[in-house]
Structure formats: C-alpha cells, structure tokens
Homo-oligomer: A and B are copies of this chain.
C-alpha cells in the first residue's frame, strides 16, 4: 500500500485537496489515503460549511472532496455554493448512502463525481484522478441508472421511482430531519429558517407524498429513515 514518503520528491508540487466532512475520524482515513500518493496532498480539512468556505480562500485547493451528509444534507448546499463561487475547482462527492437520489442531487449541485464510502480506497483515488482530469466519475451501476432515467424520462417509467425522489433538496432535508424525530421548531433552528418556512415544507411534503395528516407524514418519514439506515 504505497508506503513511500508523501513529501514532494522533486519538481512537481503535490496537488492540493480539501476535505469536507463532519466526521474527523473519516477525514483522517481519507487524508491518510490521499497523502499516501506522492502527487496528492491534503491541504486542509473542514467539518462545517463555514470552515469549508474559509478553507477555500485560505488554501486554494485544486479539488474538494465533500461528504454529502455533512450536517444533515448540507453537503449538497455547500456544493451548490462552491460550484458557483469556485467554478473551476472540481468537486468530488461521497457518501455512505448508495441511494441514487443523492448521486443525482450531488451532480446537479455541481459535483463531478460520486463515490460511496463502502467502495475500496483505491476507487476513491481513481475518482480523484478522473475528476482532476476533468472527467466525470460514477460507479457503473450508478451511471447506468442515471442514464436509464434520462432515456426513459419521456416514456412510462415513472412508476418505479420512489416519490421521495421527486422532492427538492430542501424538502428532502426537512423530510429526513422529520424522520430523525426533530420537531418543526428544532428543524427551523437547525436550518436557520423561520418556523413558518418549515411548516410550508411540511405542506409540500404531504402534498407530494400524498399523505393526509401530519402524523402520517411523520410516520412515513420515520419509517423511511429507519429503512435507510437498516440497509
């Protein structure tokens, strides 16, 4: 496993990579992995969106690796911001979820690749290199699914997709927080939004998911959340 010293050998300086993840231990794993490559180097780490933005100006990384589930789903938000403010810096998203939902959202938010935490370490390195070369990196199943979705977009294929996939990013975020048992006020607080806004999202959720009452929505969200963590 490449126990070469990760310092600069000679001419070319290593490519600077920024890590964004709120799990310090996981950051350590990725940092170790990346630093073990002679031509790559972790220039900084961030555990929150704010830290990430600060680190961008401070370290000027050539690539950013972002955890989708940073603080809820703020990874998506962060990537949206990054991809507009630093449009030339490619983003690589990763997550412990293999849900297609997140990959799709990550790409829409500006990510150039998506890897799951279950994947072997080398795959992450492959993805890093691909993305640095300006290519898109996706696992085979993932790209198949996404392509299939695009192709079948016009025809009668909407039957298989979960209604949850039709939620907007914000709506999904609220939905997941509901599933974790947070109250409206807690969610509003966490997202720095008005309680009224969260109530509107609940309305939208009920409508999009065809649920009649608040408790029903809550139950659906909770079951969804449990199911997700269970596999």
Which residue from chain B places its CB closest to the CB of A216 in the assembled complex? B181
Q: Name the distance in Å between A17's Cβ and chain B's nearest Cβ.
A: 14
Interface residue SS majority, chain A: helix
Q: Does A165 sit at the interface, judged by CB under 8 A?
A: no
The reply to whether the CB of A77 lies closer than 8 angstroms to some CB of chain B is no
Does A134 belong to the interface (CB within 8 Å)? Answer: no
Contact with B along A103-117 (1 / 0, CB 8 A): 000000000000001
Beta-carbon contact of B229 and A226 below 8 Å = no
Q: Quick one: which of B72, B118, B181, B223 contacts A215, CB cutoff 8 A? A: B181
A162 proximal to B (CB < 8 A): no
Could you list which residues of chain A lie within 8 angstroms of chain B, going by C-beta atoms?
22-30, 32-33, 69, 72-73, 96-97, 99, 117-121, 124, 178-183, 186, 213-216, 218-220, 222-223, 226, 229-231
